[in-house]
Structure 1
Amino acid sequence: MEDGENRVKQEDCSEDKLGPGILTLTNKRLAFDKTQARIMDFTKRMGDTVLDVPLENVIKIWKEGLFIKKVCFTAKTNEGEQTYKFGVFNTKSWVKSIEQTMKE
């Protein structure tokens, strides 16, 4: 993390295209780090940061799903606008936290 950057929320989850990892919301960005787990010895290792989006690049935030709930956002990236969908535990809380952090 950079100077003046604080973690607001973090959760172990999975993204539709990127797979399992850890979604992190800070006061400056949304980041997703891939993880690798081994069932034999119950270890989990952090991998590469595959998503690092400044909050000012986030265009739209919403939640979707009835049984499998996801928090979704669309962001401006180098490849154009991209949509990401994360299977988190409490979608309402994530949407509220992201919106509130973007206002501050």
Structure 2
Amino acid sequence: MDPDEKRVRQEDCNEDTLGIGILTLTNKRVAFDKKHARVMDFSGSIGETILDVPLENVTKVWKEGLLMKKVCFTAKTNDGEKTYKFGVFSNGSWRKTFEKTLENFHSKKPDEK
């Protein structure tokens, strides 16, 4: 993380296409680190960062699901827009935090970003 970057929220979760890992929301980006687990000794390790999206590329945030709760977002990528869906414990709380973080990010002056 950058020196002026602050972690806003983080949770172990599962993404529909990326698998299990750790979702991290900061004041500058949203990242997903792949997680590798071993059943034999119940250990786990964090692997590579497979998703690293600057907040300026996030175009939409929403929640879905009753039993399988997910926080979702769409972001601009080099290949067009891509949607990600993360199974989290409290999708409503995640959505509110995500939207507030985006609002704070966009309300800053361009030279403060």
Which bin holds the TM-score, normalised by the shorter protein?
over 0.9
- The structure where strand makes up a greater share of residues is 1
Q: Give the aligned residue type for 1:34.
A: K
Q: Which residue of 1 aligns with 2:16?
A: 16
Which stretches in structure 2 are left out of the alignment for 5+ residues? 105-113
Which contiguous aligned blocks of 4+ residues in structure 1 show a shift greater than 3 angstroms? none
Cα drift, residue 39 of structure 1:
1.2
Cα drift, residue 79 of structure 1:
1.2
Q: Percent identity?
A: 67
Cα drift, residue 100 of structure 1:
0.5
The yes-or-no answer on 1:53 pairing with 2:40 is no
SS of aligned partner of 2:89? coil
* Rounded Cα–Cα distance in structure 2 between residues aligned with 1:96 and 1:26: 14
The yes-or-no answer on 1:103 pairing with 2:100 is no
SS of aligned partner of 1:63? strand
Corresponding residue pairs, total: 104
- The structure where helix makes up a greater share of residues is 2
* Rounded Cα–Cα distance in structure 2 between residues aligned with 1:59 and 1:103: 12
**Higher Cα radius of gyration:** 2
Cα drift, residue 37 of structure 1:
0.3
Q: Which residue of 1 aligns with 2:92?
A: 92
Cα drift, residue 66 of structure 1:
1.7
* Rounded Cα–Cα distance in structure 1 between residues aligned with 2:102 and 2:69: 22
* Rounded Cα–Cα distance in structure 2 between residues aligned with 1:11 and 1:78: 27
Q: RMSD across aligned C-alpha pairs, in angstroms?
A: 0.6
* Rounded Cα–Cα distance in structure 1 between residues aligned with 2:64 and 2:103: 22
